[in-house]
Structure 1
Amino acid sequence: MKEDRLYEDIKYDISDLKTALVAGGYDRAADLPLCKEHLDELASLADTYGFEVVAKEPCSIRTIDAALYFGKGKIQELKEKAEKVGADVVIFDEEISPNQQRNLEKIFKRPVIDRTELILEIFSQRAQTKEAMLQVELAKSHYQLPRLKRLWTHLSRQTAGAGGATKGAGERQIEIDRRLIRKRISKLNREIKEVQRQRETQRHARVRSGIPTFAIIGYTNVGKSTLLNALTEAEVLMEDKLFATLDTTTRKFILPNHQEILLIDTVGFIRKIPHTLVAAFKSTLEEAVYTDILLHLVDVNHPLAEEHAESTYEVLKELGSKEKPIITVLNKVDLLQNKTLIARFKLKYPRVVPISAKTGEGFEELMKMMASVVKDLRKVVKVRIPQKDYALVSELMEEGRVITQDYEGNDILMEVEIPAVMEHKVKEYLEDDSPCKSP
């Protein structure tokens, strides 16, 4: 959004724009509350980028207009509203096509963007690690590819005005830019694979260290960084903004039972994640897939706290992390009026702890539960593995922490700490004096 653009003959520099009108659609009257909730989130996103939101407009829509998304009458109403409140930019909650975007900008005489473009720009602002920056640039490249015509229309108009019969300067520039962007996409994909390979090596080193890892997950702005700071006294960025944390942050922590653990802060979830951003978003959540335990933080004061929890579990299911031990941490209980909500969470989820990351309320109970889950997480086993099954030895060395290793004839004798989920793989190889051997 930093580049200059032309909407008809008016030139805008988006980075100079200050005020925004946000708009979203709903089909039935029953969907209006959800539409308003989505617009509230979109307004928070706009605020995070730096816009002042001057109007939020939920719009009834029966069918999507191919040219304008909303019907002409509704678009005219939005145009008049934008002019009345002095909105510099109009932001649509739904993803709009390149053609719709061009048509809308001609009518509004101001920039029109959608949720995807807004989030891309926020990701660009917040990315700090190499992989996050690469993923964001890749997502932006895919997003820009079908929208090149929007950036070069003015050159085509100038050529046409001069009576040019061949391809206009704009068309030629679009073809050049398409080739450059496709080339850049290929290069970015190669670089991302290399960074992911390096990160995989780091993860394996972490597993071999035997230190249990916790990922703090949850919706944006629920207090994840506040919790990390309170537990570890780490100076992690805390803002009342969505995506204050985009990259993962890892800190060591000692539980009261002297167990050392690693705490990993992750990017906050949002609803309606645009499909072009799924890869970039999930790359920042991959650490959650590879950690041992998940701390699922919920803002218990949010009116849609239960829906947010459900949405988080759906994302975890997609990531393949739903089977991991999960501690549901209900944050901001110091502000909670309706205590029955805690009871509902405890009925639905197996491990629930109400806390206040701000005041420290509930921390003792939380740390006891963390220690309890860690205790059940890994097992020490003694195994005798024949040489023909050496593939299992490699797997144990990869996934576990070898304490001792020896050889007896063609057998490999090992004492190894392994994830509890691997117990079934070593059952037939257990030595009689193994701690896990059944009597």
Structure 2
Amino acid sequence: MSEINLSLEQAILVHVNFPQQHNSEDLTELQLLVSSAGVQALQTISLNRSAPDTKYFVGTGKAAEIAGLIEQAQANLVIFNHALTPAQTRNLERLCQTRVIDRTTLILDIFAQRARTYEGKLQVELAQLQHLASRLVRGWDGLDRQKGGIGMRGPGEAQLETDRRLLRARVKALQARLEKLTVQREQSRRARQKAATPVISLVGYTNAGKSSLFNRMTDSDVYAADKLFATLDPTLRQLNLPLVGKVVLADTVGFIRHLPHNLVAAFKSTLQETREADLQLHVVDAADPRKTDNMQQVAAVLEEIAADQIVQLTVYNKIDLLDQAPRIEYNEYDLPVAVYVSANTGQGIDLLIKAIAQLLSQKHLYLKLALPPEQAVWRARCHEQHCIEDEYFDDDGNCHLTLSIAEAVWQRWLKQSNGELENYVVNTADI
């Protein structure tokens, strides 16, 4: 299940426009997905409907038209730019006498092609198996299934139960392996936190140029291409920034409209880098006419994975395609909120580094804590962070600390303590 392998397929594309839906799928994006998967699109069928048809999604007449077009064009695959139910997929395959896949299956195939690391392959296989679980029935339509009562079960039912049991066992084994890798990743993350190394995460819509920007900033050679999901496996590099020192830059998988939930769940540990970052660089393709909608889709995914509260700097990439000059935009507090750059030519990279350094270094907090004896672990963390300016114990054994601490570190500690640390603050003031 590691790879569906749609390469060299010849397909008919089907896109349905639902005028009443404001967040419907994009036809141009479907064509990019198909191209990224290595599929040759022979023809595209686009139609309008007020609602999906229960049986064929597109209606009986249009489904028959698609079946005729398949025979005429000698296609061997039909790709829908929508999520199909198992029943709709089965009905369409019976009518068209060829394979039918939906948008989710297509994205899973691209992920399978891109996965290179051991963890990435496990994550993709887990997502594929979870997606396959509700579709096992399709492989055994020719066999009898349950007819009711003991002794009345046909061979198809027995085969289905066997497949489901094997699938559950495989899913359980994959989850166990990924859990071990998650523990290892968490240990590395804790080591960075103890060293107070800020983490900068690149986020953005797929094909916005995140990997190209990553390579430009870190002088790396991470694979970058003009394809959707060219990057799948996360990559981390360390670099030195003025006024900040050492930071870790993380390149992550790009987002897309209606990212399949199975993928979000499977890539939980990978997306942890985005959730735990001190700063997010939201990379936007400035030359894409759909950039505003793409930014909204990224915001929706960040909210879904609980990463929408991180300080964010918008990076408008590919300004060389628009003949724009690099610049920094500031808000009313004189803090950078957007930078215009070109990862391809290197324009504006110095401005981006300047903006990052300003955001990571500009804000510290002056805190006074009164920690009871049972919270000595946080006293130890403060010493590890080297942020204590004064310290003494009262007669009850409470530890009184005066801290000068970066706001990003303090916010991370609050998250780790589920907000409990806030109860021990005596007073706070910005410096």
TM-score (norm 2): 0.82
Instruction: Report the secondary structure of 2:141's partner residue.
Output: helix
- Which blocks of at least 5 consecutive residues in structure 1 are unaligned? 4-12, 158-164, 431-435
Say whether residues 1:25 and 2:6 are aligned partners.
no
Instruction: Report the secondary structure of 1:77's partner residue.
Output: helix
Deviations 1:85-121 (A, max 9, x none): 4422101111112222122112112111111111122
1:256-335 matches, cutoff 5 A: 256-257=242-243, 259-335=245-321
**Range moving further from structure 2, 79-88 or 221-230:** 79-88
Tell me by how many angstroms 1:361 deviates: 1.2
What corresponds to 1:78 in structure 2?
66
**Range moving further from structure 2, 51-60 or 75-84:** 75-84
What corresponds to 1:114 in structure 2?
102
What corresponds to 1:231 in structure 2?
217
What corresponds to 1:46 in structure 2?
34
Verify the 8 A CA contact 1:297 1:330 in the aligned structure 2: yes
CA distance in 1, matches of 2:8, 2:2: 11
What corresponds to 2:415 in structure 1?
none
What corresponds to 1:68 in structure 2?
56
Verify the 8 A CA contact 2:363 2:407 in the aligned structure 1: yes
Deviations 1:342-397 (A, max 9, x none): 999989x9601111111111112111111101103555878674535436436657
Amino acid at match of 2:358: S
What corresponds to 2:385 in structure 1?
401
Verify the 8 A CA contact 1:253 1:262 in the aligned structure 2: yes
Change (3 A) 1:333 1:114: same
Tell me by how many angstroms 1:169 deviates: 3.9
1:11-410 matches, cutoff 5 A: 15=6, 17-28=8-19, 38-154=26-142, 156=143, 167-257=153-243, 259-336=245-322, 351-376=337-362, 385-387=371-373, 389-390=375-376, 392-393=378-379, 396=382, 401-402=385-386, 410=397
Change (3 A) 1:67 1:243: same
TM-score (norm 1): 0.81
Verify the 8 A CA contact 1:396 1:418 in the aligned structure 2: no
Corresponding pairs, count = 408
- Which blocks of at least 5 consecutive residues in structure 2 are unaligned? 145-150, 412-420
Change (3 A) 1:377 1:18: farther
Amino acid at match of 1:18: E
Q: Percent identity over the alignment? A: 35
What do you get for the CA RMSD once the two structures are aligned?
3.5
Amino acid at match of 1:285: L
Change (3 A) 1:437 1:299: closer
What corresponds to 2:407 in structure 1?
420
Instruction: Report the secondary structure of 1:254's partner residue.
Output: strand
Tell me by how many angstroms 1:418 deviates: 4.0
What corresponds to 1:6 in structure 2?
none
CA distance in 2, matches of 1:40, 1:111: 22
Tell me by how many angstroms 1:218 deviates: 0.4
Amino acid at match of 1:401: Q
Instruction: Report the secondary structure of 1:210's partner residue.
Output: coil
Tell me by how many angstroms 1:405 deviates: 10
